[in-house]
Amino acid sequence: MSFSAEQFKQQFPLFAQEENAGLVYLDNAATTQKPLSVINTMRDYYIHSSANTHRSSHRLARKSTEMVEQVRDKARQFVNAASGKEIIFCRGATEALNLLAHCLCSELEPGDEIVISTAEHHANIVPWQMAAKRHNLILRYVPHTAGVPQFDRLGEVLNERTRVVSLTGGSNSIGLRPDLSLIRQLLRRMHIMWVVDGAQLAAHEEIDVQKIGCDFFVCSAHKFYGPSGIGFLYGREILLESMPPWLGGGEMIAEVEFQQSRYAELPHKFEAGTSPLAAIAGLGAALDFLSRQDRVAMAEHEQRLTRMLHRELSASPNFRLISQVHHNLGIIAFVPVHGSATDLMHWLDERDIAVRVGHHCAQILGRTSGNQVTVRASVAAYNTDSDVRDFLQALDDYCEVQQSAISDEEVEPTSWTRDDFSLLQLERLASHRNWQGRYRELLLWSKVVSRKPEIRNPENLVRGCESEAWLVHREIDGRHFFGLDSDSRVVKGLGALLLSQIDGCTTEEIEALDLPLLFKELGLSKHLSQSRSNGFYALMRRAFHQVESGENRL
């Protein structure tokens, strides 16, 4: 078999929609798109087979039950588990990790230890913290260098009290893949339970839990082209047998008496309540879909794109790369040298390029590495070379605009009352024929807005702006004056546009303005992302409220 990204992409109807014709989707670590076979299977389930499982014995119930057990077997094959009893359906990796933290830790003694790493997703940190608090356990971290866990040094934090080691199979924030065979070596012959958080890994390579040698493996279908709301936990049968159940309710019992119950056999012991049946059907379709692909060729394609992106970004003086190309699942994490990561994300969004900015549910890694907010581009097999080229071109354009905006001297901080908006000419902004020119002009306008640490307090924070923004107001002799601050240049630019229209005006003059119309006429509503537009309107609403309420009148 071989692999063609273009042909693969054709199986995903989202990309065929007119509104998505230019979409470059690089947010696959958050969730992947779904192929038609998954969508149709879920629809067909409701049309042809919908009934509750296991409890009733009529035709539809039997059909639905059969479907669930068939999907369980597909999941078993997907990770090469020894038996279907070892596959527990969950809502996803988060629920599976909560189940493990709850059930494993309730059997531990105070002072027992759990080891995790700085590269874990919050889903593999918080449940262990909660359980550690509840049962007086000690949480340890794999030694790290500048936040990056050194998995080869895992042995340094293991001791006779270590009971559980729960580590990522691949980091969602920097893409780092630990060498699982090395971890297996280090844990060999120690009676420690090993959990692999495979939420990212399962999307990128074939999984063989017997070869990995782990005791538990968790994953979420939506990360590998399946539906959201379903995933599964693999656990070694002997361990699952000895664990207490987690949630109580229907399906997980054999018999209920007045004071106690006898629990169902595996795997049902851990599946209380009605399962998300259509999602299970969709998971089955996703597993079938993957089994029809050449997974090795798919992974090679993803790795080639990952290398291309790392090569280009590492050669650019305008970006600082956080992720490394080696042992990487397909995630490129970086920060722009000039401007904020959020501004860059919006710039990309305005070109219909989807990436993610933030801490990526890995705040400990962000804090320990000193990179609390990064831009993350994550690839999937339907990404093409042209996606990568469009992305890189958009980054180049962004840098060009930033460079011309920063070449002017930085404005010295002054008091907020002194920002002078009178030089900002609307005609000049409107005279730029293309959007790029207008955007550059807005960035230049942002320089009028001086830094004002004194107004940065919760009282002045404008709700509804995605990037933080603070706005203050004072009315002097019937005229309204405003002070604005933000870390985002774009927000400052938009704020400068707003204040150029209203600063120093009377209430009547402000009320006579039609700012939404102006915003539209300048093409801002067309070119800016929805969240940026919302930010402008949030600033406008706050300013109007201040005018109307007569706050801070002198």
Judge contact between 278 and 46, C-beta under 8 A. yes
Q: Which two tokens stand for residue 351?
A: 């070109």
Residue 425 CB, nearest distance to ligand PLP (Å)?
46
Closest CB to ligand PLP among 148 and 401?
Answer: 148
Judge contact between 323 and 362, C-beta under 8 A. no
Closest CB to ligand PLP among 217 and 398?
Answer: 217
Active site residue 361: yes
The site that binds ligand PLP (CB under 6 A) totals a number of residues, namely: 12
CA distance 378 to 355: 7
At residue 220, φ and ψ (nearest 5 deg) are -125, 130
List, in sequence order, the alpha helices (H) in 292-446. 295-315, 341-349, 363-369, 385-406, 426-431, 435-445
Q: Binding residue for ligand PLP (CB under 6 A) from 200, 369, 500, 533?
A: 200
How are beta strands 353-354 and 261-263 bridged, if at all? unpaired
Q: Helix, strand, or coil here: 44?
A: helix
Judge contact between 294 and 2, C-beta under 8 A. yes
Residue 391 CB, nearest distance to ligand PLP (Å)?
21
Q: Which two tokens stand for residue 451?
A: 């830094």
Q: Which stretch binds ligand PLP (CB under 6 A): 117-125, 139-147, 381-389, 525-533?
A: 117-125
CA distance 426 to 517: 14
Q: Binding residue for ligand PLP (CB under 6 A) from 117, 220, 342, 488?
A: 220
Q: Which position among 103, 105, 219, 361 bears the catalytic label?
A: 361
- Count other C-beta atoms under 10 Å from residue 108's C-beta: 18
Judge contact between 322 and 330, C-beta under 8 A. no
Residue 123 CB, nearest distance to ligand PLP (Å)?
4
Closest CB to ligand PLP among 356 and 492?
Answer: 356
Closest CB to ligand PLP among 378 and 402?
Answer: 378
Residue 94 touching ligand PLP (CB under 6 A): yes
Burial profile 316-352: b = 16 or more Cβ within 10 angstroms, e = fewer: bebbebbbebeebbbbbbbbbebbbbbbbbbbbbbbb
Residue 328 touching ligand PLP (CB under 6 A): no
Residue 149 CB, nearest distance to ligand PLP (Å)?
13
Q: Which stretch binds ligand PLP (CB under 6 A): 2-10, 68-76, 197-205, 418-426?
A: 197-205
- Contacts with ligand PLP in 63-92 (CB under 6 A)? 92
Residue 293 CB, nearest distance to ligand PLP (Å)?
21
Q: Binding residue for ligand PLP (CB under 6 A) from 85, 102, 121, 268?
A: 121
Residue 283 touching ligand PLP (CB under 6 A): no
At residue 499, φ and ψ (nearest 5 deg) are -70, -25
- Contacts with ligand PLP in 167-196 (CB under 6 A)? 168, 172
Place of tokens 């080696």: 326
Closest CB to ligand PLP among 314 and 363?
Answer: 363
- Contacts with ligand PLP in 347-406 (CB under 6 A)? none
Closest CB to ligand PLP among 197 and 387?
Answer: 197
Residue 222 CB, nearest distance to ligand PLP (Å)?
6
Q: Helix, strand, or coil here: 16?
A: helix
Instruction: By CB under 6 A, name the binding residues for ligand PLP.
Output: 92-94, 121, 123-124, 168, 172, 197, 199-200, 220
Residues marked as catalytic = 361
